[in-house]
Homo-oligomer: A and B are copies of this chain.
Amino acid sequence: MTRMKALPTALLVDGSTAEACCPPLSERPLSSEEAEVAARLFKALGDPIRLRLLSAVASHKDGEACVCDISDVGVSQPTVSHHLRKLREAGLLSSERRGTWIYYRADPVTLAAMGRILSAASGRV
């Protein structure tokens, strides 16, 4: 089986990726380069349609879904495709073509990296 593919270049800023970047918010002030990488990830989730699509994929059977499974979000198919591409570019979704359909899967490394940025800060107080 072909491996699921993300578009990792979107995560690169001077060679940094979501996994390498960034420390928890409470650890130290982020550098401008780290903040650029992290902001791109959070911005990708800063849209309600993208969040609905990502949750539809992540909660679907076996953690993956084709566009036929998840496009019931009240927007046109080109808009769905646009938002799926943004999620892929951010590294939040990986995709794999199987026959006619492209299957999507939430990327655990990117989500874990984002959760790490938030979680330690929230545990500080």
A residues sitting closer than 8 Å to B (CB atoms) are 25-30, 32, 35-36, 38-40, 42-52, 54-56, 58-59, 63, 70, 73-74, 105-106, 108-109, 111-112, 114-115, 118-119, 121-125
Contacts and interface: CB of A to CB of B under 8 A. Distances in A.
Nearest to A42: B45
Contact of A43 (B29, B47, B63, B73): B47
The 6 closest A-B pairs by CB, nearest first: A43-B46, A111-B122, A35-B48, A42-B45, A112-B122, A115-B118
The DSSP consensus for interface residues of chain A is helix
Given A59-B26, A105-B125, A46 B51 contact: no
B106 A115 contact: no
What is the count of identical protomers in the complex?
A: 2
A42 B36 contact: no
Contact of A119 (B38, B43, B54, B119): B119
Contacts of A56: 29
